[in-house]
Amino acid sequence: MKIIIVGLGKVGQKLTERLSQEGEHDITVIDTRRAILHDVVNSYDVMGVVGSGASIETLQEAGVDHTDILIAVTGSDELNLLTCLIARKLNVCNTIARVRNPEYKKEVQLFQEDLGLAMIINPEFTAAREIARLLRFPSAVQIDTFAKGRVEILKFRIPSGSPLCDLKVVDIAQKLGCDILVCGVERGEEAFIPGGDFTLREGDYVSIVATIRDVTHFIKKIGLKTNKVKNTMIVGGGKTAVYLANLLLKAGIDVTIIEQNPDRCEELCEMLPKATIINGDGTENRLLLEEGIESAESFVALTNIDEENVMLSLYAKTQTKGKIVTKINRIAYDEVISSLGLDTIIYPKDITAEYILRFVRAKNNSIGSNIETMHDILDGKAEALEFNILKNAPIANRTIESLSLKPGILIALINRDGNIITPRGKDTILPGDTVIVVTTNKGYNDIGDILK
User: 236 phi and psi, to 5 degrees?
Assistant: 110, 125
Question: Tell me, what's the pLDDT at 367?
Answer: 58
Question: Tell me, what's the pLDDT at 72?
Answer: 96
DSSP bridge pairs for 399: 428
pLDDT one digit per residue (tens) for the chain, 452 residues: 899 999 999 899 999 998 998 878 999 999 999 999 999 999 999 999 999 999 999 999 999 999 999 999 999 999 999 999 999 999 888 999 998 887 776 677 777 777 788 888 888 999 999 999 999 889 999 999 998 888 999 999 999 999 999 999 999 988 998 889 999 999 988 999 999 999 999 999 999 999 989 999 999 999 988 888 999 999 999 999 999 999 999 999 999 999 999 999 999 999 999 999 999 999 999 999 999 999 999 999 999 998 999 999 999 999 999 999 999 987 566 667 777 778 899 988 888 888 888 888 877 655 566 788 888 899 888 999 999 999 889 999 999 999 999 999 999 999 999 899 999 899 999 999 999 999 999 888 889 999 98
Strand order from edge to edge, sheet including 69-72? 47-50, 26-31, 2-6, 69-72, 94-98, 119-121
Q: What is the DSSP letter of 118?
A: S
Domains and CATH numbers, the chain: 2-121 (3.40.50.720), 231-346 (3.40.50.720), 364-450 (3.30.70.1450)
CA atoms within 13 A on the CB side of 294: 5
C-alpha 381: how far from chain center: 14
| pTM attached to this predicted model | 0.84
d(CA 311, CA 322): 16
Q: Give the chain's count of helices (H) and strands (E).
A: 14, 24
Question: Tell me, what's the pLDDT at 188?
Answer: 87
d(CA 306, CA 326): 9
CB-based contact 436:410 (threshold 8 Å): no
CA atoms within 13 A on the CB side of 402: 10
Question: Tell me, what's the pLDDT at 332?
Answer: 61
